Amino acid sequence: MAREDVVVVGAGVIGLACAVALLEAGRGVRVLDAGRVAGGSSHGNCGTITPSHAAPLAAPGMVLRAARWMATPDAPLYVHPRLDWNLWRWLLGYAGRCNARDFEASMRAKSALLNDSRARIEHWVGRHRIDCEFEASGLDYVYRDRRAFEAMAGALAPLHALGVDAQVIDGGAYERQEPALRPGVAGVVRFDGDAVLRPDRYAHGLADVARRAGARIDEHREVTAVRTVAGGVELQSAAGTLAAREVVIATGAWSARLARMVGIPALARAMQPGKGYSITYPPVAGAPARPIVLKDRQVCVTRWGSGFRLGSTMEFAGFDASLNARRLAALERAAREYLVLPDGLPAGEPWMGWRPMSLDDAPIIGALAPGSPVWLATGHGMMGVSMSAGTGHLLADLMTGRVPAIDPSPYRVERLR
């Protein structure tokens, strides 16, 4: 049986970024996906590249705030009521991390990878001429709630210490700058170092880069078993057995389902699928010039030349693939509360996808165990696009024995055991 060099399982933005980085490092790569390229969260997310989002969701005070949201079906966070011991155990573990020490540790880990990846994404887009509507646009947090705005404005020091620049803008001044906003803005926090791109085009661009560099990408080839053997691994699928020296598991929210297959049941306990929603419209007159987050409603608004997208929310409902009309309506309702939009919006494309939420809100990157031919690149939560290039380069550094550009220890799988 012919042996591949590296097989990457997962053709989302993380798997494809790993493939490109490994190819640049001189490795041979084959990519397998159960569906199609960019068929999951890489398709419909908001496409923001956000070093500003280093703060983890598990923050001090979040437990009480989440408790108020969780019983409201259209709130930013919703837990579908059901008997699911794994979910409730995960939520309890997540709640236990809502303290200053764990918050700061996760923020440092996320920031290092976000800052590294921000520069690498822009370099890749330029070097490989990836047509994904990339723009070094910055991003604005927009508040109508003055207390929330003042709390954020007074809590920027930790982000400044991590190299994230921010400026505070008075609400009235911002309204004069941005006519898309309705009156009533209390204030804005601006992050000029952030950027935006069209995520589905970025992912397809990475796939094209990988193919030009010699990678083979097999769509609709679900991996059903991974087995370590002498000299590497064997992967089973409906199309037969594939042998490889090493394998990278980059299957996003489905990684937990592969946990027992690769010998790490702790991964199943450490991850949950977080369901997000978006609506994408054709270009809309009067949309904001920059990406913004409507912070009081936790809704992200992005505009490209090719379209306009509302997105966000977090729903824990397992792998339920239904589109929740109430949560989609909440996106439009928030947009109309903040934005001056035309009365008759064109028909939008509703979408949902699952984010791979890790227990400590930091990704899982590294070998399954010292010397193992099985590698993991998963658990990026809502930051998959933002962390993509940095993850690929970090994994390639580890797999080729190079000195990593950033400290890999916060992302190792051993922390989950």
Q: What is the pLDDT of residue 67?
A: 64
Q: Identify which has the larger pLDDT, 122 or 226.
A: 122
Q: Which CA distances in Å does 34 have to 202, 233, 249, 290? A: 20, 19, 12, 35
CATH of 3-416, picked from 3.40.50.300, 3.50.50.60, 3.40.50.620, 3.90.950.10, is: 3.50.50.60
pLDDT above 80 (res 1): no
Tallying the residues shown for the chain, one arrives at 417
Give the whole-angstrom CA distance, residue 306 versus residue 283.
Answer: 6
- Give the mean pLDDT of 144-153: 94
Q: What is the pLDDT of residue 343?
A: 76
Structure token digits, residue 328:
């989609």
Collapsed DSSP state (helix, strand, coil) of residue 224 = strand
Q: pTM for this one?
A: 0.94
Give the whole-angstrom CA distance, residue 293 versus residue 394.
Answer: 29
Q: What is the pLDDT of residue 127?
A: 96
Query: pLDDT-derived band of residue 238, with 50, 70 and 90 as boundaries?
Result: confident
- Give the mean pLDDT of 396-403: 97
Residues ≥6 apart with Cβ < 8 Å to 125: 132, 134, 197, 202, 205
Residue found under tokens 């090493």: 246
Backbone angles phi, psi at 189, to 5 degrees: -110, 120
Q: Map out the domains of the chain as residue ranges.
A: 3-416
Q: For 348-395, how does the pLDDT look when each residue is reduced to its tens digit (9 = 90+)? A: 899 999 999 998 899 999 998 889 999 999 999 999 999 999 999 999
- Give the mean pLDDT of 92-102: 85
Q: For 168-219, how does the pLDDT look when each residue is reduced to its tens digit (9 = 90+)? A: 999 999 999 999 999 999 999 999 999 999 999 999 999 999 999 999 999 9
Collapsed DSSP state (helix, strand, coil) of residue 106 = helix
